[in-house]
Structure 1
């Protein structure tokens, strides 16, 4: 009997087939003597939509809300039905004795596989492959330690409960808001509080009023210290600061205290997904989605890093034996690696090994595969360098600094000077620090040398993707795998925008936060739900109990919207009039750019906001021309020099001579004509033959 192995993607299936000897390639699977390896294409199935469950739910009406189905079934996604059909045929083969789930080792990966097996009614034994890297060694080891799928039933229950909760809350609240306010208003248990975090920061910026204040600084040699104040805005007038300086200047100050301590700073732990997304955004401006895509490529395609969708910065104790091999794989990465290997690849940051802090996956690490840098893109190299640099810090000594705190008193006011001296650079490579120019002694007299500086309080900064990811992690909004998607969804639904300085809530988003239920705006509700989902995954709570609470909450949320007295203004409606019916036009974002559509439901008028740029080149300046919709049809126009050209129809385009045909014709007619043969030449040729 053969094992049917179900991977999540074709690329993973290909890797598995090579390791397991499934060398016969077919359209939808690989086959070998003992295994058949097939694949999903991400999700092949989804929960049924309202219109699939009840005819009354086909139209969006307030009377049909809330929608609480007794049973939420699953249905195939339309574009991937061919692969689902192929898996069903393989699963029913008589020579298939069991299935091995080899989808991503996480909550969503479990859901992908379980839905497929449920849909094809698979009744034979099911096992689970659980690995954190895609190397040949990891795959072989994983197949030696397959576990019964029943051990992951709680994880599946958690994933299913999450999907159903999002269906109940998301679809009901979105429908209620959209119907009541006659605009596409999308809300959800995670995306709405995420949007609210950005808006809260904006409110702080809007309410900020800059304050002018003054500070007093004492200079000794080339070192300077600011006078300590309980309230930094206490000196609001320069006269007050100057009066204090005048008082201080009447006598010398005294060094009243000198404190020395050794500060030991251990190396940071390896990355989890959220932290590397935050740092990549700060360093390179990469979006969370882009960073996830790059790490996924390093994991899946190049096989040089471990599983990316992790929420842990720790490693398990059984991984200690793998550290040397991982270090050898990056031996040419930096000069210190050879020293670490020579010293026995000893991990100095021993607190990284904590079994109880690793749930599904350990921290991001390089694998034992040597990287081929020539195959990595520039962006992939940057992310890989971040992961390896953080990994190498585990083998470095801690950073030690001798810190000296000097307190100088002028009457009741004090000034604090600080001096730092690096004792051991350790994992921090940069050791350049300013030389200490003053030798302090307790009781030392200090001459008054003051300056008054005018300061202006700085406003809070807008949230960037990096800082938003930090807040999402703090309040358990989403998972490491879904946070990037949530941010992208908010932008795509026109509730939030990216700007050069950070994230910004759109006028539509601001209104949504006023219209949506208050409990959905704060992160506390979602935070409690995430804790419940974790409890379900750990087998400490029943999913039915959780979903009963969600159904009750859904009814309450819909009722709140129904009885709300809030008003709504659609900022997407412009003052431009429809040329066909005279109604106002609405501006909409599409994949093809911004368009105008008529607000009249009975009118089908629509046009682009900006002309579409074609691949047709201007005959004068050779730049791409715009397509303009005129009264007599569409035509090309160059926005640089005003040149216009008629757009040919399909028949005319066929008749039009191609460049290849034009060159061939030119070549034919440019050849020199051969002179006709003269009568004398013909007579001579005939004589020669005789």
Structure 2
């Protein structure tokens, strides 16, 4: 028996069809059976790394003395609870198999995802590898006929494992170190540190500070009006850095220089030096990957990255109307081209309003998007061949479906074309340029209702009709004084774009190159951080850390903007530069490239991370954390600690930061500790009255309600119970008139 283990259910179904099976009749409990072949599936990662407390329970409590937490190699894995049932199916099938076929996605993470299962169950059966990036039937069959030994891909697995271990070590060690040292200052919140997340904080902070520290300055645009060959022309000065003071954007910044140029040109002879004409043709944009779809939805409708992912995931899983969404690729296969007629038929059945868009579509047109060689682990997001006329879509689902469908239809429209003319006018030593754009054919742009309109031309005459060398006069130069503006704040869409091309924020040339090399072969990513599967969750995490970042509406922006708070700015100032930039990702990319070549082993890489973290942890221990905390409330019991906000399973409460040495706790009252709690009496006996004497000093740590002392059945003995009963069942033995917390809860 041969067992295929696919990364996800849709891939398993495609393999079943590729094996000439029928998914409807061959489906069993957690697998398909086609002859002697079994095809089972994962739901992404079925396992995760042990947490530190899984190795040693002491790590459940955060203490500086236990830091740094060193790596355990090889690491141990545990089954993710929600996948346990399917994991058991896979485990049994592996045990019964004669051979295994690894059908993870053809990338590093796909290799790790299946290999970690095989390692976890101590598989000894032979393992082959199938590489499938296109779920259409013929490409799947071709892949099934080209199996390779799984051992050929072991270094890709090791590279992915190295990153996974490194990210866990980074997060656990640095988050605990900075948070614990900040608590000594009375800072209550967690200070999360992560390779990708901290780089995003750094990018957001850089823009925030640029706006806060921006000093007003000016630049000058000079516009000339010319009389040449009986025509009036308007052209803009191209400043010369050899004779004028320019900024980094090559803008004139000296008012004196501007005035001098005006004086030198007003009323002076001029001539038309050159005329350059060209036709510019532009094909429809490539279809969406997840990041570009998220960016577009954020700009058009203000959807968050997570919201867009949820919508497209439902269109994929529930409605079966879109292809796999977590794709980083914007290209399609030749098979998609062959099936384009069926896809477009499904589109018009699902969204009849799009039928009118097909009038100028030519299915014989071949767009550059159809290129087998540019497909990575997945292909672009496009509509499926399913007729969705019976599907009930929400407004947001319809919006996203129409957007994706329109982008697919646009691939079969002719390119847009424009005639572009550039006229260069010389006046003494100064050069002025006039440009003109004339739409020739709108092509695919008609599908987007004016989103691609050109700006009005400054000159009404056809510049191409003029003759080079024509003489004339500069009638007048006007000076337009403009204020400089700081870099724009980041928004949801621009942060997603920044993650896709993070290498441009790396200053070291070698590290920049290493990060760019990581995405070699993927024309949609350019030195990226995070993955299509994780970027939305990174942004959601940042949004939830309101003590570090605020996401607010800002005048002049269509989307909400990200700004670091005062604490966020202080936190970024504390972290090393390599953590608040993509430099760490770039450095790791360099190491991972060596692992993939077999030149560096994962254990050595993990050793590098351990050594780095040991240095960083010691620095934090020695130097502390300079961060501003809210006004400190001294613990009234121990007089040493401070009362800080905590979140328990029953909600927010406030407790001494010296716990467990001091167990003082208070209920929450509108975000602050209720230092003088009063009980509200109700008509009839209350739970507290039923219990007996209610304490004004002893509180339940689970729900923060007062504890009450009640007589037990045995004479002169007592027990303690929570007044939150029956919703809270916490109880204690009595010891000397106090709850016996040392014995623990009953």
Partner of residue 406, structure 1: 423
Matched, 1:509 2:510: no
Query: 2:130 and 2:668 mapped to 1: Cα distance?
Result: 50
Alpha-carbon separation, structure 2, partners of 1:609 and 1:257: 76
In structure 2, which of residues 71, 74, 95 is the aligned counterpart of residue 71 of structure 1?
A: 74
- 1:375 and 2:392 are equivalent in the alignment: yes
Partner Cα distance (2:225, 2:651) in 1: 59
- 1 CA distance for matches of 2:480 and 2:390? 52
TM-superposed CA distance for 1:47, in Å, is 1.4
> Equivalences for 1:531-570 in 2 at 5 Å?
532-533=591-592, 536=595, 540-541=597-598, 545-563=601-619, 566-570=623-627
1:173 is aligned to 174
Report the TM-score when normalising by structure 2: 0.69
Report what 2:212 is aligned to. 206
Does 2:589 correspond to 1:586?
no
Gaps of 5+ in 2: 241-245, 504-527, 555-560, 690-746
- What's the secondary structure of 1:415's corresponding residue? strand
- SS for the counterpart of 1:260 is strand
Name 1:193's counterpart in structure 2: 199
**Which residue pairs with 1:484 in the alignment?**
536
Decide whether aligned partners of structure 1 residues 495 and 102 sit closer, same or farther in structure 2, where only a CA change above 3 A counts: farther
Q: How far apart are 1:401 and its partner, in Å?
A: 1.1
1:270 has 2:287 as partner: yes
What is the CA-CA distance between 1:281 and the residue it aligns to?
Answer: 2.1
Tell me how far apart the structure 1 counterparts of residues 304 and 293 of structure 2 sit (CA, whole Å): 11
Please tell me whether the aligned partners of residues 9 and 42 of structure 2 are also in contact (alpha carbons under 8 angstroms): yes
CA shift, 1:482, in A, is: 1.9
Matched residue, 2:164: 163
Q: Structure 2 CA distance, aligned partners of 1:597 and 1:351? A: 59
Take 1:595 and 1:223, find their aligned partners in 2: how far apart are those partners? 72
Q: 2 CA distance for matches of 1:45 and 1:336?
A: 46
| Corresponding residue SS for 2:578 | helix
> Is residue 225–residue 474 contact of structure 2 (8 Å, CA) maintained in 1?
no
* In structure 2, distance between residues paired with 1:133 and 1:414: 54
**1:353 aligns to what?**
371
Q: What displacement does 1:388 show?
A: 2.4
Please give the alpha-carbon distance, in whole angstroms, between the structure 1 residues aligned to 2:316 and 2:177.
42
Alpha-carbon deviations, 1:501-542, whole Å to 9, x = none? 411223443333333344333323312323544665xx5336
Q: What pairs with 1:284-295 in structure 2 (closer than 5 Å)?
A: 284-295=301-312
Secondary structure, in 3 states, of the residue corresponding to 1:293? helix
State whether residues 172 and 558 of structure 1, in contact with CA within 8 Å, keep that contact through their aligned partners in structure 2. no
TM-score, L = length of structure 1: 0.74
CA shift at 1:572, angstroms? 4.6
Alignment of 1:282 onto 2:292? no
Match of 1:49 in 2: 51
- Measured against aligned partners, the alpha-carbon deviations of 1:593-637 in whole angstroms (never above 9, x if no partner) come to 87655444324424446389xxxxxxxxxxxxxxx99944369xx
SS of equivalent to 1:308 = coil
Counting only pairs closer than 5 Å after superposition, residues 129-144 of structure 1 correspond to structure 2 as none
**Match status 1:574 vs 2:631:** yes
Equivalent in the alignment of 1:616: none
CA distance in 1, matches of 2:676, 2:158: 58
Q: Which residue number corresponds to residue 698 of structure 2?
A: none
Give 1:103 deviation, angstroms.
Answer: 6.4
TM-aligned CA distance change 1:552 to 1:485, over 3 Å: same
CA contact (8 A) 1:6 1:38 kept: yes
Secondary structure in 1 matching 2:331? coil
2:557 maps to what in 1?
none
The match for 1:526 is 585
Deviation for aligned residue 1:320: 4.0
Cα 1:550/1:522, change in 2 over 3 Å: farther
Shift of the alpha carbon at 1:67? 1.0
**Mapping of residues 64-463 of structure 1, within 5 Å:** 65-77=68-80, 81=84, 84-85=87-88, 87-88=90-91, 92=95, 107-124=108-125, 147=147, 150=150, 153-182=154-183, 184-219=190-225, 224-230=234-240, 231=246, 234=252, 237=255, 245=262, 248-251=265-268, 253-317=270-334, 319-331=336-348, 332=352, 333-337=354-358, 339-340=360-361, 343-347=362-366, 349-350=367-368, 352-353=370-371, 355=373, 357-372=374-389, 374-429=391-446, 430=450, 434=456, 437-440=460-463, 441-442=466-467, 443=470, 445=472, 448-463=475-490
Structure-1 separation of matches of 2:44 and 2:680: 41
Distance in structure 1 (CA, Å) of the matches to 2:34 and 2:395: 38
1:50 Cα deviation (Å)? 2.3
Please say if residues 5 and 35 of structure 1, whose CA atoms lie closer than 8 Å, have aligned partners that are also in contact: no
CA distance in 2, matches of 1:578, 1:61: 21
More displaced stretch, 14-23 vs 518-527 = 14-23
**Number of residue-to-residue matches in the alignment:** 616
CA contact (8 A) 2:218 2:253 kept: no
Q: Output the CA distance in 1 between the equivalents of 2:643 and 2:577.
A: 32
C-alpha displacement of 1:298? 2.3
Correspondences of 1:7-22 after superposition (within 5 Å): 8=8, 19-21=22-24
Residues 286-305 of structure 1: CA distance to partner in whole angstroms, max 9, x if unpaired? 22222222222222222232
Q: Deviations over 1:297-326 (max 9, x none)?
A: 222222232222222223345554333433
Rate the CA distance shift 1:145–1:498 in 2: closer, same or farther, 3 A: farther
Distance 2:340 2:329 in 1: 17
Q: Does the 8 Å contact 1:393/1:427 carry over to 2? A: yes
Q: Which residue of 1 aligns with 2:679?
A: 633
Question: CA offset at residue 114 of structure 1?
Answer: 3.6
SS at match of 1:417: strand
Kindly tell me: are residues 259 and 646 of structure 1, through their superposed partners in 2, closer, same or farther at Cα, counting changes over 3 Å?
farther
C-alpha contact (below 8 Å) 2:327/2:381 kept by paired residues = yes
Q: For residues 80-115 of structure 1, give each alpha carbon's deviation from its aligned partner in whole angstroms, at most 9, with x where no partner exists.
A: 5555456545655x6x66666666665445544443
Q: Assess if the C-alpha contact under 8 Å between 1:218 and 1:449 holds in 2.
A: yes
SS of the residue corresponding to residue 423 of structure 1 reads strand
* 2:210 aligned counterpart, secondary structure: helix
Q: Residue 20 of structure 1 contacts residue 35 of structure 1 at CA under 8 Å; is this kept in 2?
A: no
Whole-Å Cα distance in 1 between the matches of residues 684 and 99 of structure 2?
A: 60
Displacement of 1:11 in angstroms is 12
Higher-Rg structure is: 1
